[in-house]
């Protein structure tokens, strides 16, 4: 069966990653090792989908600099379709400083660069690439006005919308929230949106109910090592995470979102799509980095087969 068209809208950054024994406290200096990796929430999500065998389109805004050229080439090498990407003359590409502790925890500071200047008109122009019945994925790193314009075009363009509200910011209208088909926050983002601390599936159920009150058709909350909780007006379910040795949690949420979108595009049933997304996120955290930690379709299939065998034993 032919996959549905898939397009991502979001940010791209060059990540400066420091691996340290533990995360520093304020005022403390630590010794670490540094690498430079392609990143950015939207780019990570698009690469996650491409590694699973899809050919997703991606809209982002890169600076006209060496970093932008490198980021563009990295996306193309991963299999992402880059026709919609805009190169911003006279601007620098986004960048991020990422600290990763030996336990896999991280701290991230972002300079959005060219990502900051995405306008509603730019998004409207990029929307020409959205095909009928497409799945569109957006994240909250883009300017709110640009996101709002994308959401407004949903009825006209006829796409299904996955919205990853990260980082959470105010400004979206109630009408924009009602345009969302799948809202995919993590625990911290669910708390920011609802005021409900999410620590287990029971609290996730409470938060999901509050999220649905915002207007989306469905809420899908990721709970890190616990798994994920899904709810809509008619059903709900929880799936546990796959146990793995965590090396680096950077981009785990992006891996989940990209894989969830890819799985829906591949027409997998909803529960299977969530399970596959959990598998991709599990494999992601066993590797260092962002885009380079996204697993291939073969690796995911082998992982899921192994988990099925373990569940039967």
Active-site choice (200, 202, 254, 301): 254
Q: What whole-number distance in Å separates Cα of residue 226 and Cα of residue 238?
A: 10
How large is the greatest C-alpha to C-alpha distance in the chain, in angstroms? 59
DSSP result, 78-143? HT-B-TT-EEETT-PPEEEEEEE-TTS-EEEEEE-GGGGG--HHHHHHHGGGPPTT-EEEEETTS-
Residue 103 annotated as catalytic? no
Q: What is the CA radius of gyration of the chain?
A: 18
**DSSP-derived 3-state class of residue 288:** coil
Tokens describing residue 163: 């919205």
Beta pairing class for 182-183 and 106-111: unpaired
Under a CB-based contact definition with an 8 Å cutoff, are residues 225 and 241 in contact? yes
**DSSP-derived 3-state class of residue 214:** helix
Query: Which positions are annotated as active-site residues?
Result: 254
């Amino acid at each position: 069966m032919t996959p549905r068209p898939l397009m991502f809208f979001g940010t791209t950054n060059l990540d400066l990653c420091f691996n340290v024994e533990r995360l520093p406290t304020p005022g403390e200096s630590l010794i670490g090792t540094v690498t430079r990796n392609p990143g950015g929430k939207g780019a990570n999500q698009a690469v996650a989908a491409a590694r699973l065998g899809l050919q997703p389109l991606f809209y982002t805004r890169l600076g006209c600099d060496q970093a932008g050229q490198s980021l563009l080439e990295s996306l193309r090498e991963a299999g992402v379709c880059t026709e919609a990407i805009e190169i911003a003359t006279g601007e620098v590409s986004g960048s991020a400083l990422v600290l990763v502790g030996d336990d896999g925890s991280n701290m991230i500071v972002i300079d959005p660069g060219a990502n900051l200047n995405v306008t509603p008109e730019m998004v409207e122009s990029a929307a020409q690439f959205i095909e009928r019945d497409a799945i569109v994925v957006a994240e909250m790193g883009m300017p709110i006005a640009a996101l709002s314009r994308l959401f407004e075009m949903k009825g006209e363009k006829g796409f299904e919308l996955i919205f990853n509200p990260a980082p959470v910011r105010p400004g979206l209208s109630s009408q924009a929230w009602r345009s969302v088909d799948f809202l995919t926050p993590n625990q911290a983002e669910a708390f920011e949106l609802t005021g409900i601390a999410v620590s287990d599936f029971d609290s996730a159920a409470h938060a999901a109910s509050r999220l649905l009150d915002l207007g989306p058709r469905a809420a899908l909350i990721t709970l890190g090592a616990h798994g994920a909780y899904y709810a809509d007006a008619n059903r709900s379910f929880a799936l546990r995470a796959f146990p793995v040795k965590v090396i680096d949690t950077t981009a785990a949420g992006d891996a989940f979102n990209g894989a969830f979108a890819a799985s829906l595009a591949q027409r997998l049933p909803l529960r299977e799509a969530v399970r596959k997304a959990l598998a991709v996120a599990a494999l992601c955290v066993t590797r260092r980095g962002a885009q380079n930690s996204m697993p291939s379709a073969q690796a995911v299939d082998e992982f899921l087969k192994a988990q099925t065998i373990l569940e039967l034993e």
